[in-house]
Amino acid sequence: MANLVIVESPSKATAIKKYLGSNYKVIASKGHVRDLPKSSLSVDVENGFEAHYINIRGKGDLIKEIRKEAKAAKKVFLAPDPDREGEAIAWHLAAALGLEPEKTLRVSFNEITPDVVRAAIKEPRAIDMNLVNAQQTRRIWDRVVGYKLSPYLWKAVKNGLSAGRVQSVAARIIVDREDEIRAFVPEEYWTIDAQLGVGEGKEFTVRFYGNESGKIKLDNEAETNKIVKAIDGKDFTVKSVKRASRQKLPAPPFTTSTMQQEASRKLGFQSQRIMRVAQELYEGIHVGTENGGVQGLITYMRTDSLRVSADAQKAARDLISEKYGEGYCPEKPRTYKTRANAQDAHEAIRPSHVDLEPAKIHKYLTPDQYRLYKLIWERFVASQMQSATLNTLSVELEAAGYLFRAGGYSVAFPGYMAVYEESEDEETRADAIHEQKDIRIPELVEGEAVALRHIEPARHYTEAPARYTEASLIKFLDEKGIGRPSTYNTIITTIVSRNYVVRDGKSLVPTPLGEVTTRLMKENFSDIVDYTFTAHMEDQLDEIEKGNVEMLDVLNPFWKGFEKELERAEETIGKGSFELPVEETDIICDKCGAKMVIKNGRYGKFAACPNYPTCRNTKPLTEKKEEPERVEKKPAPVADFKCEKCGADMVQRNGRYGSFFACSRYPECNFTKQKTKELDVLCPDCGGKVLIKTGRNKTVFYSCENYNSTPGEGCKFSSWDMPVSENCPQCGKLLFRKKGKALLVCHDKECGYKRESEETAAEKKE
């Protein structure tokens, strides 16, 4: 009788199965199996906020399958992700499957590696109800706020709108910033730069500072020209030359928040993309048999902690000493203090195996996986390295009673900067003191006279605050304690999908709908969109998780205040003006001469007369088709691998069966290679990547990346049927989707297992 391990995702199940062996069967729940139904509130606020959960539609067959396996198992290990949400999934699984408490055990993995997985299985625990209740409280809060507020939005603004507990605050943050930008009045200011010279060709630039009394702010042209006139033609005298050395400390390893900020700034990834790729790195990727096969490459990616295990520190220090030299390794391991209100259940985000350098496993990763893994690896290694030593230089010169300054630094010892440097957002860069890197100033002596070569006054205007990007919004949310790092991705995705905010490049811009809805919320439900109140609610969830506070001690006071706001809104909501601004067109109404506006109808947008109902004229909106620009033919894209025959570059070509790669020396060399896509499934025969290929008549089939038709060489896996990331419940082998049929069959023909896919079963029920 085997033990059963239930995880969330099929890819994690594949990795864990390899680590545990034949005494364990691993199956995936594919996320939550129970939730509150969408059709009703399903929370009894009058009777202790009792929540009515149901099995999620479409998961009936999966639940039956897991229940059958659980009954036959000796022990059942519930192993969803190690956080509140994962704990709640474990609790819901136990309830939905009717599991016996005495044989139901909870395990969690901070990283998906053989040692960690096996150690966790040896030390199971009971389901932590404090974690479950913290998640339940958040879920109930979100449901009550959303379902109680939405009708007011329908009444005041338009049908179909929805409000969220944290999403409404995030929308307000972006709207408030837009209001700041509109209210901003640019102020004029001036700078004066003087180009000085010492001897032949030794020139440098200094900037006006003020006089002996202090800094002088130049805010008009007349005052600036007065100073320029006084200085022009005069020599400068060196007042002071200060040289110093300072240490620059490395940044700590990533938390969820800092990873999202840095990946947004450096890689240009949106938060949703960042968390999806991080999840893939955590759950496990096949990195070649020489590197241990399937490996979880990073520790759990939802954490506030800066803590790092002693073993990970030692591994990093050994690598630093070997790769960069003893001088790059500090005397003692570096430790970083986690902030007071952080959830410290897991380590900081770091590589599970620091010896798996990004370049070493590059070929096994997708471009996104490689770039994010490289960022995490470099950040962690740098966090354990020696500080950088910077030589700083500042000079002050005087002319006609006015002072000019210049300053900068050069790198004396790179330390951690040999591996990684933290980026800055636009606001931080704008607020930074003007400082030049690798400054080039000739040797100067106090009292020395320096000739003026050129003086340049320049007019500037102060700039409005920058719009939020995903990185700067996440930073703001994190600093204010609004939401939690694990929810930032959902928050941003939600406000964009609901059209409260749109993306303009990297910037987040509120829509008219977002602005009107935010104004309604501020006037009628001020607590819900109050930064401090929302942060306090998150702190209350943390207290429930720690076992310091009960669910009802948090929910009851919240409901009393919220209920009063609902009552007041019932009386006033219809009196305010919350109409959406109309969008004008250039179309003139041919009946009354008014400019027509855009309206939304049953079949999409159309132009309507603004004088409705007096004038009922409407017209279809037709987009003008622009003539396509003629562009020069681009050179064929070059592949990231070389020709296997002659070593020349391979380039992408298009043929009758789709894209392929051909040698750039064609026709001298006729070597070609088919362009393939990877399927998110490992080969059932050798564990390599499964590739999607195109045969004759554009017929799609699947084969292993190690496929070789020569007898005795390579892998022989090839199939017309698509392998799926799900194991057979009878024999544990991979399941395949039959071509042209909605049927799943076992890879082992002797097993004979087959069943309808979930989609087909759901369609039949409907």
Question: Which amino acids are annotated catalytic?
Answer: 300
- Helix, strand, coil percentages, rounded to 5, for the chain: 35, 25, 40
Using CA atoms, how far residue 252 sits from 266, 382, 421, 765, in Å, is 17, 8, 11, 52
Please answer whether residues 182 and 512 qualify as being in contact, where contact means their C-beta atoms are separated by less than 8 angstroms.
no
- What would the two tokens of residue 350 be? 């770091």
Check whether the bond before 613 is cis (ω within 30° of 0). yes
Please answer whether residues 283 and 9 qualify as being in contact, where contact means their C-beta atoms are separated by less than 8 angstroms.
yes
Instruction: Please return the burial class of 482, using the count of CB atoms within 10 Å of its CB with bins 0-12, 13-18 and 19+.
Output: buried
Ramachandran region, residue 131 (left: φ > 0; alpha: ψ -120 to 50; beta: rest): alpha
* 129 sits in which H/E element: helix 129-156
Please answer whether residues 684 and 702 qualify as being in contact, where contact means their C-beta atoms are separated by less than 8 angstroms.
no
* 118 sits in which H/E element: helix 114-122
Please answer whether residues 12 and 112 qualify as being in contact, where contact means their C-beta atoms are separated by less than 8 angstroms.
yes
Please answer whether residues 486 and 85 qualify as being in contact, where contact means their C-beta atoms are separated by less than 8 angstroms.
yes
Using CA atoms, how far residue 54 sits from 117, 129, 733, 735, 758, in Å, is 31, 19, 31, 28, 18
CA angle, corner 320, sides to 356 and 290, nearest 5?
A: 20
Q: Which of 208-229 are b and which e, b meaning 16 or more Cβ less than 10 Å from the residue's Cβ?
A: bbeeeeeeeebeeeeebeebbe
Q: What is the CA radius of gyration of the chain?
A: 32
- What would the two tokens of residue 299 be? 């520790």
Taking Cα atoms as reference points, which of 273, 299, 283, 305 lies closest to residue 376? 299
Using CA atoms, how far residue 238 sits from 139, 148, 198, 446, in Å, is 66, 70, 12, 5
Please list the alpha-helical segments (H only) found in 290-413: 310-323, 367-383
DSSP string, 609-644: -TTTTT---EEE--PPPPPPPP-PPPPPPEEEEE-T
Using CA atoms, how far residue 542 sits from 45, 537, 741, 753, in Å, is 22, 9, 49, 46
**How long is the chain?**
766
Three-state DSSP state, 4: strand
Using CA atoms, how far residue 662 sits from 20, 636, 672, 697, in Å, is 44, 10, 4, 20
Round to whole Å and give the CA distance between 366 and 355.
19
Please answer whether residues 141 and 160 qualify as being in contact, where contact means their C-beta atoms are separated by less than 8 angstroms.
no
Round to whole Å and give the CA distance between 723 and 678.
12
Please list the alpha-helical segments (H only) found in 194-300: 221-231, 256-267, 271-283
Side-chain half-sphere of 35: how many Cα atoms within 13 Å? 16
